Chains A and B, each alone.
Chain A
Amino acid sequence: MTWVALAVNILFVLFYAPLMDGIERQVRARLQCRKGPPITQTWWDILKLLRRPPVAPEKAVRPIFNLAPLVAFAALLTAFILVPTLLPHSITFWGDLILVIYLMNSATLALVFGGFASQNPYAHIGADREVNIFLVEELALAFVIVTLAIVNGSLTIEKLFPVQLKLSVAIALIAFVVLVYIASARIPFDIPEAEPEIVEGALIEYSGSQLAFAKYAIYLKRLLLFSLLLNFVLPRNGVVRPLLFVIALPILSIIYASIEAYCGRYRVTEAIRLLKRISIVTMISWVIAIAGW
C-alpha cells in the first residue's frame, strides 16, 4: 500500500511542479495587465527542451557539467519519497528531516557546480552569488529545524507534524514562510539568475534536455518547499488531506507570485543582510524553545 501511495505522490509532483510555474506565470501576467501564457506553457516548454540535444561549451568540465542537472533532479525526487505530499505516506526513519534538507541542498549545489564547470564568467558570478545566499540561508534553516526538533523531541518528519502550537514554533513558522520565499529564488531574491545582469547565471550554458532537467529541478524545489510548509498546518491523515493539499497549493502560488510581481531585485549584499536578520529571529525561536515555551 505504501509503495502505491508513494508512486501516486511522485507522479503527482512530477505532473504538478511545471504546472505550478504555469499558474504563477499567469498570476504575474494578470497583475501586469497582460494576457499571459496558458498555464500549461511551462509543460510545453519542458517537453520541447527535452527533444533538443544539449550543447556543452568547449572548455567545460564535461562530466560535472553534464551530470549536474540530473543530480539535482534526482536528489529532489528522492526528497519527495521522504516528505508526505498529496497522500500522507512516506518512508520514515530517525533523522529523515535532515536527509530532506541535505537532498534539497545537494540539488542547489549540483547546479552551482554545473555553473562553475561551464567555465562561463557569468555562470561563475551566478554560482558565486548562489553560494553566498545559500550559506546564510542554511543558518536560518538550521535554527528552524532545531527549534522544531526540540519542541517535538524528534527529528522524524512523521513525529514532527502536525506541530504543537507554541511561541517558539510560531516564530519559527513565520521565519520558515519567508525562507520558503527566499529559497525558491523569487524576485527580489533571484539574484543568482538575474536575467538582465548575468543572464540566468549558473544556467547560462545549459541547453536542450539538460536545461529541461535543470529547470524541472528548480520547479520541484519550489514544490518541495511548499509541501514542507503545508505539512506544518494540514491534518496528518484523513480524506480531507489530499483535497486540502490540492486547494492549498494554488493559493500559496497566488500569494507568493503576487508578492513577486511587486518587487524589484536586491543586490547580493542587501539579500544577505536581510537573511542575517532572519537568522537572528530563528535563533531567538531556538532559545525560546530551549526555555520550554
Chain B
Amino acid sequence: MVDKILAEYGAVVLDRNAKRLVVQVDDKQLRPLAEKLFESGFYYANGVGVDERGLGHDFAMYHVFASEKDKLYLVVKVSTSNLKLPSITPVIPGSNWAEREAMDMLGLEFEGHPEPERLILPDDWPKGVYPLRKEFDYNERPEFVERKPESTPQRTDVVQLPLGPYHPALHEPEYFEIHVDGEVITDAKYRGFHIHRGMEKLAEGRLTLNQVPFLAERICGICGFTHSIAYCQAVADAAGLDWPERAKYIGVILLEIERLHSHLLWVGVVFHLLGFDSGFMHMWRIREKVMDIAEALTGNRKTYGLVLIGGMRRDIDESRKNWVLKTLTELREETERVSKDIFGMKELINRIKGIGVLPKEDARALGVLGPVARASGIDTDVRRDHPYLAYDKLDFKVPVYPEGDVLARLLVRYDEIIESFRLLEQALSEMPQGDVMIEDYTIPSGRVGLGATEAPRGEDVHFVITGVESKVYRWHPRAPTYNNLPSVPIMLRGNNIADAPIIIASIDPCFSCTDHVAIVRKGKVIWKGPLGEGVKQVGR
C-alpha cells in the first residue's frame, strides 16, 4: 500500500527496516505525496531541518509521518540547494510548527506557508543568524536587536485577557491571549517557547553519543525517562542494535512507573483547578507511594540516569520485588476506591462534561497525540502500534473515548492508570534474568535513526543522524505537547473563561518539553504580553 503510493510519486528508498522507512523525493512531488499520505491515514509526527553540508550534501528537511494502520514510520527527505522548499502545511496543518521551526533555526524558506512568522526565536534575536547551522558555534552569543512590539491589531469589540506568561494556574511560563465577550471566549492565541534551552545545539556541539541520554532525561521533570529511552532507541535504530531482554523489561517497568506518577499528578492538578483540593491531596498522597517504588527499584525518585545506548547501566534491585508487587496491589485498590468516590460527585463531573471539545477531524489534521487523541476517538498508542522494548510481549488495553471533551480526557487517563498497574505487575513477574547491557558495538556515521515512545502525554519522537567520532550530527526530540498545543485554541473557543485553565490543563501541557530548541541569554525577557495594560473596554 505505502510502497505503491511512494512509487507513484517517484520516491527513492534510502533505508528500511520493519518499523521505519526512509525515502527521498523530489521537492515538486512533496506536496502531492504528503496529501496522499494524509488521505491514506498517516499523521504528521515530526519535522526536522538538517544542515547536511557536513555530510557532503545540501540542506534537507525530513518530514516524519506515522500510521497506526501500517504500523510504520515514514521519513520523507527533501533536499534543497537554494534554501527553498514547498510547504506542506496547506495539506497537513500539523506541519505548521515544524516548518516554522526550520525557518527560524536554519533559514529554510517554505513556499506557500500560511503564516511564515517567527515561532521559536525571540523577537530580539537578530535577523539572518541561524543557530542550528553548523557554522554557528554552540556558545556563540549574537548581539540583541531592539524588540519590536507585536503588531496585532487591537480588537475593540471584545475584552482581551492576558493569561500568562506568569499565571498561578500555569506552572510554566507561556502566554495565551484570550478574547472574551462577557464570560465567553471568542478567540484564543498562543505564544510559547519562552524557555528554550538550546539542547539540540548543546548535544551536537559538545556531547558524545553516550552523554546525550542524560541530557535527554532532563528535557522534562516528569516524563524525562521516556525521552532518554526514545533517544537511545533512535541511536540503536541507526546502528541496528538490539538490547538484552532484561534491559527491555526494566525499561518497561520504569516507563510505566513514570506514566503512573505523571497521570496521578495530572488528575490531582485537575481537581485542584476545579477547586476540589481534597481530591488533589488524595491523588498526590497515592502518587507519593509510586515515587517510593521508583526509589526502591532505582535509587532515585526521578531522573534515574539509567539508560545508555547499549541498555541499562545498572540492574534494578530485585530484593524489593515482593514489596513492590504488594504495594502496587494496595495502590491499585486505593486508586479505584478514591476514584469511585470522586466520579460519584455529580457537580464535579458536570463541570468538565462537554467543555473543551476537540473534534476528531481537527485532532487528526493537527496530529494530536496520546490521551488527547484517544479522548477524541483516535485509536493510537505507540506501545501497541509501533512496539518497542518488551511491550509486544505484554497484555494491555488502549482506552478510546469518542466525546472529545475534558471528561473524556480524564477517563482515558484514569483507564491508563489502571492499565499501567496491570503492565507493571506483568513486567515485574515475567522479567527474565540476564545481562542488562551490550557493550560491544560500533555506531556507523551519517545514519538516520528514529526512536518513538509513548510518553504519558503522547508519542515522543526522537530523530537522530549519527556523526563521526562518537558524536551526534543532528538530534531532534519532539515532545507530545508540541503537537497537542496547537489544538488548545480550538478547544477554548466558545467556552467559559472559568473553564480556560482546566481546558488548557486537559492536554497535560509540558511547556519545557516543547521548548528545547533556541538559545536564550539567561535572565533576558524575550516576550512581554499586554499584561498590565488593563482591559480594553472600548465598545463594551
Contacts and interface: CB of A to CB of B under 8 A. Distances in A.
B89 to A, nearest CB: 33
A196 to B, nearest CB: 4
Contact of B281 (A34, A119, A199): A34
A243 interface: no
A262 interface: yes
Given A196-B168, A199-B168, A264-B274, A33 B282 contact: yes
28 contacts: A32-B280, A33-B281, A59-B532, A59-B534, A121-B159, A125-B161, A187-B275, A187-B277, A191-B498, A196-B168, A196-B169, A196-B501, A197-B169, A197-B498, A197-B500, A197-B501, A198-B497, A199-B168, A263-B347, A264-B274, A264-B345, A264-B351, A265-B274, A267-B351, A267-B498, A269-B496, A270-B347, A270-B351
Interface string A56-86: 0111000000000000000000000000000
B348 interface: yes
Nearest to A125: B497
Interface string A183-225: 0000110110011111100000000000000000000000000
A165 B282 CA distance: 43
Interface in B167-191: 167-169, 183
Contact of B278 (A58, A188, A262): A262
A124 interface: yes
Given A121-B160, A187-B277, 15 more contacts: A28-B277, A57-B532, A59-B534, A119-B534, A121-B161, A121-B162, A188-B275, A196-B169, A197-B497, A197-B498, A198-B497, A262-B276, A264-B275, A264-B279, A265-B275
Given A59-B534, A196-B272, A197-B497, A261 B168 contact: no
A125 B185 CA distance: 13
Nearest to B170: A196
A32 B275 contact: no
A280 interface: no
The 6 closest A-B CB pairs, nearest first, are: A265-B275, A32-B281, A264-B276, A264-B274, A196-B169, A264-B348
Contacts of B498: 191, 194, 197, 267-268
A268 B168 contact: no
Q: How large, as a class, is the contact surface on chain A?
A: 20 to 34
Most chain A CB inside 10 Å of its own CB: which residue of B160, B272, B497: B497
Interface in A243-273: 261-270
Q: How large, as a class, is the contact surface on chain B?
A: 20 to 34
B273 interface: yes
Interface string A18-56: 000000000010011110000000000000000000000
Nearest to A274: B347
Nearest to A33: B285
A120 interface: yes
Contacts of A31: 278
Interface of B: 159-162, 167-169, 183, 271-282, 285, 345, 347-348, 351, 496-501, 532, 534-535
A30 B219 CA distance: 36
Nearest to B182: A128
B351 A261 contact: no
B531 to A, nearest CB: 9
Most chain A CB inside 10 Å of its own CB: which residue of B183, B272, B277, B282: B277
Contacts of A57: 532
B347 A264 contact: yes
Most chain B CB inside 10 Å of its own CB: which residue of A188, A194, A264, A265: A264
A34 B500 CA distance: 29
B168 A32 contact: no
A196 B282 contact: no
Contacts of A187: 275-277
B235 to A, nearest CB: 41
A198 B162 CA distance: 11
B407 to A, nearest CB: 13
B276 A196 contact: no
B468 to A, nearest CB: 51
Contacts of A32: 277-278, 280-282
Contacts of B278: 28, 31-32, 261-262
A196 B272 CA distance: 8
B135 to A, nearest CB: 46
A264 B406 CA distance: 15
A34 B347 CA distance: 25
Contact of B183 (A264, A266, A268): A268
B347 A266 contact: yes
A31 B275 CA distance: 15
A188 B347 contact: yes
A186 B4 CA distance: 64
B41 to A, nearest CB: 39
Contacts of A264: 271, 274-276, 279, 345, 347-348, 351
Nearest to B178: A121
Contacts of B534: 59, 119-121
A42 B275 CA distance: 20
Contacts of A122: 161
A121 B535 contact: yes
A188 B345 CA distance: 13
A266 B279 CA distance: 16
A250 to B, nearest CB: 20
B163 to A, nearest CB: 9
A195 B168 contact: yes
B496 A267 contact: yes
Nearest to B183: A268
Given A196-B168, A264-B274, A267-B498, A124 B535 contact: yes
Interface string A99-142: 00000000000000000000111101100000000000000000
Most chain A CB inside 10 Å of its own CB: which residue of B275, B278, B348, B501: B275
Contacts of A267: 351, 496, 498-499
A158 to B, nearest CB: 40
Contacts of A198: 497
A261 B274 CA distance: 12
A188 B274 CA distance: 9
Contacts of B276: 187, 262-265
A261 B275 CA distance: 9
A261 B341 CA distance: 14
Contacts of A263: 275-276, 347
B501 to A, nearest CB: 5
A59 B348 CA distance: 38
A59 B273 CA distance: 30
Contacts of A59: 532, 534
Nearest to B277: A32
A258 B271 CA distance: 17
A252 to B, nearest CB: 20
A32 B279 CA distance: 8
B470 to A, nearest CB: 47
